[in-house]
Structure 1
């Protein structure tokens, strides 16, 4: 593994950890501040998550700022990174996500690991995850390939904050975050038994998203791929 790959993996791990800290931590805070109003708690959770995403992408984009195995797999499918790098980044994302959940639990005086009892399953929720993931990929790669790479952070943060509300699943759209959220029995948690269905739906959304990106934003020259590498790496 090269020094550059280690550097990128570190950025992915730290970024995913802070993303999950935002998701889980704000979920705990929201449920404590608004225990009788689930809608308000979700609003608080979505705003915190979207804002954190904007900040994290801006800060870590010069190194690596995917924070999502599906995005990384699409980068690999597009030929932007090699298999070894993709594997290292995905492992870092999963590790970072789990670390973020543990830290969030500890910050709020909970057990470091507590398996969630919040079951999330059913065709409607799985469809919501697939839709959320397709949309995320279109936002990420579409923004880059349309020449507005400097707006990726705001586009992604805004999309995720909105997708909390317009998808039935509240838009996990990220296997690493989904796995991480299984070890917190709080507002943002998901039961371990529900994780496989969500991950399969996210991967299915990833395939469709990849096909749409290739259809809508074909690489007409090497310049487009070079721009992708610079922004997404």
Structure 2
């Protein structure tokens, strides 16, 4: 049984390092490829894909490697049906650890590149098209994660989840934040990956809607979960709790 404190540490660390990868690679991309937005996005997305895959492999056996409040909420909701998921107390702890980790990760990235530790982003990301992009990105993410879980293929989750996020960088209008904690964290850095604080609520609401859509799609494809359905993302973690 893995203690809740260890799982919360894994979620804090994993979300923090994920945001450090996203923000740090964005700063590096701006430095190496000034004025070349497409190349900057390619560099940023490539680093994110590899970083996310590694973090899931390393921390998945401890906490499930959610790193995302929407994933944790979907896990909690699935658990209400299967009896195998996060409790309300665990969900609250996961979300808090993820948000604090994301903020810390942005601050760490800023400090590594000699930027002010906290600089509120001025990049406005607020339009119906961008919100729709976040609904699509988040729904797809939930579908990928829980479809793998329900079909017993969690071993490929690191590769599949990272690949989906990398693709969604390019096919969604919002460049696929798909994560409320990461969205909040990115508001703390006025760099390539930043989002203005005023734009955060719209993105988070769109992500929550996307999470519901994704979960409904999973239910439509696989039906109600049984008691033997493991938790996301890495199946090995569920057996060790």
Runs of 5+ unmatched residues, structure 1 = none
Map Cα deviations across residues 72-120 of structure 1 (whole Å, 9 max, x no partner).
0000111111100000000000000000000000000000000000000
Structure 2: unaligned runs, 5 residues or longer: 80-84
Residue of 197, 200, 216 corresponding to 1:195: 200
Given the alignment, which residue of 130, 137, 158 partners 2:135?
130
TM-score, structure 1 as length reference: 0.95
**Which whole-Å deviations, capped at 9, do the CAs of 1:24-51 have from their partners, x for residues lacking one?**
0000000110012100000000000011
State the SS of the aligned residue for 1:165: helix
Instruction: Give the alignment's Cα RMSD to 1 decimal.
Output: 1.7
Tell me whether 1:148 sits opposite 2:153 in the alignment.
yes
Query: 2 CA distance for matches of 1:18 and 1:208?
Result: 28
Work out whether residues 154 and 235 of structure 2, in 8 Å CA contact, stay in contact via their aligned partners in 1: no
Residue of structure 2 in register with 1:212 after alignment:
217
Q: 1:179 aligns with which of 176, 184, 205?
A: 184
Query: What is the rounded CA distance, in whole Å, between the counterparts of 1:228 and 1:182 in structure 2?
Result: 26
Tell whether 2:80 aligns with 1:75: no
**Aligned partner of 2:105 among 96, 100, 108:** 100
What is the deviation of 1:219?
Answer: 4.2
Secondary structure at 2:228's aligned position in 1? helix
Q: How far off its partner does 1:222 sit? A: 2.1
Cα distance change of structure 1 residues 220 and 181 upon mapping to structure 2, 3 Å threshold:
closer
Q: Give 1:228 deviation, angstroms.
A: 7.2
For residues 163 and 30 of structure 1, what CA distance do their matches in structure 2 show? 19
CA contact 1:66–1:232 (8 Å) conserved in 2 = no
Among 111, 119, 122, the residue aligned to 1:117 = 122
Q: Residues 132-161 of structure 1: CA distance to partner in whole angstroms, max 9, x if unpaired? A: 000000111111211211000000100001
- Measure, in 2, the Cα distance between the counterparts of 1:67 and 1:97: 9
What's the counterpart of residue 66 of structure 1? 66
CA positional deviation for 1:70: 0.2
Aligned length: 232
Q: CA deviation at 1:214?
A: 1.5
The one-character-per-residue Cα deviations of 1:165-187 (angstroms, maximum 9, x if unpaired) are 00000000000000000010000
CA change 1:13–1:228 in 2 (3 A) is: closer
Residue aligned with 2:3, SS? helix
